[in-house]
């Protein structure tokens, strides 16, 4: 944990923005898919995305464009059977419901694996943000129903800052949970950050305070500690 964390303001409603790949699921599903089907050139694209030399939307679009749309069933089946949900996720959802915390999934992942993997958890569809997909052409096309607003020039694909900005800091304590490159911009804006993996490195680099987590039980424990400060 880093120092000087912001105090939770108990007059504000809490809202959680939770990443999907590498956060709700233990591994990154996009990486798992391209590694499994192994089309030539995928590694350089992934390195450019993680190294922020290529925007997320450009890079993710290019990665899926390497895969033929005719392989839809294999890709979807692999993604769904390969993913494992991180421990404590249902408990965090239950905790959020019982403590009047709004819970959004803000994912840079793709609809064909995000929705099926979340189906058992009863999250309202309008509380799940992710990218779309189109298998009607020769190659898999990613579609971007939630692009950056005029305040973000990052070409996020699914733009987390754009979603977070709909919840003004005066009225909400904005809590971001994430692990990697799709969370960097959102972390700058959020009031509280729960981080693992690359997001820890980024927060340290930027001097942003964060709580480290490994399972969602860690997140619940910290939220409970803040409840106790009433």
Least spacing, CB of residue 162 vs Zn ion, in Å:
6
Minimum distance between the CB of residue 25 and Mg ion, rounded to whole angstroms? 9
State the binding string over 141-180 for Zn ion (x if CB under 5 A, else -).
-------x---x-x-x--x---------------------
**Do residues 106 and 17 touch, judged by C-beta distance below 8 A?**
yes
Nearer to Zn ion, 160 or 196 (CB): 160
Q: Which partner from the list Zn ion, Mg ion, none does 148 bind, CB cut-off 5 to 8 Å by kind?
A: Zn ion
154, 186 contact by CB (below 8 A) = no
| Burial class of 34 by CB neighbour count within 10 A (0 to 12, 13 to 18, 19+) | buried
Phi-psi region of 4 (alpha: psi -120 to 50; beta: other; left: phi over 0): left
- The residue at minimum Cβ distance from Mg ion is 22
Q: Is 185 in the site for Mg ion (CB under 5 A)?
A: no
**Residue 85 binds which entry of Zn ion, Mg ion, none, with Cβ cut-offs from 5 to 8 Å by kind?**
none
Nearer to Mg ion by Cβ, of 131 and 135: the residue is: 131
Strand-by-strand arrangement of the 102-110 sheet: 141-143, 128-134, 102-110, 13-18, 172-178, 192-195, 211-212
Q: Contact residues for Zn ion (CB under 5 A)?
A: 148, 152, 154, 156, 159
Q: Contact residues for Mg ion (CB under 5 A)?
A: 19, 21-22, 179-180
């Amino acid at each position: 944990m880093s120092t000087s964390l912001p105090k939770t303001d108990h007059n504000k409603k809490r809202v959680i923005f939770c990443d999907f790949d590498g956060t709700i699921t233990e591994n990154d599903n996009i990486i798992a898919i391209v590694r499994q089907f192994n089309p030539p050139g995928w590694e350089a694209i992934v390195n450019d995305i993680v190294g922020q030399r290529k925007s997320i939307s450009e890079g993710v679009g290019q990665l899926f464009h390497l895969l033929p749309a005719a392989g839809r069933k294999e890709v979807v089946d692999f993604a769904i059977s390969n993913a494992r949900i991180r421990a404590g996720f249902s408990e965090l959802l239950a905790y959020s419901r019982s403590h009047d915390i709004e819970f959004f999934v803000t994912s840079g992942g793709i609809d064909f694996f995000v929705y099926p993997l979340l189906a058992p958890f009863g999250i309202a569809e309008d509380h799940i943000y992710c990218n779309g997909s189109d298998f009607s052409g020769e190659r898999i096309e990613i579609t971007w129903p939630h692009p950056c607003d005029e305040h973000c020039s990052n070409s996020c694909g699914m733009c987390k800052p754009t979603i977070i900005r709909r919840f003004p800091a005066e009225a909400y304590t904005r809590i971001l949970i994430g692990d990697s490159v799709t969370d960097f911009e959102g972390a700058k804006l959020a009031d509280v950050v729960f981080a693992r993996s690359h997001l820890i490195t980024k927060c340290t680099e930027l001097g942003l305070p964060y709580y480290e987590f490994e399972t969602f039980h860690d997140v619940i424990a910290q939220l409970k500690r803040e409840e106790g400060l009433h």
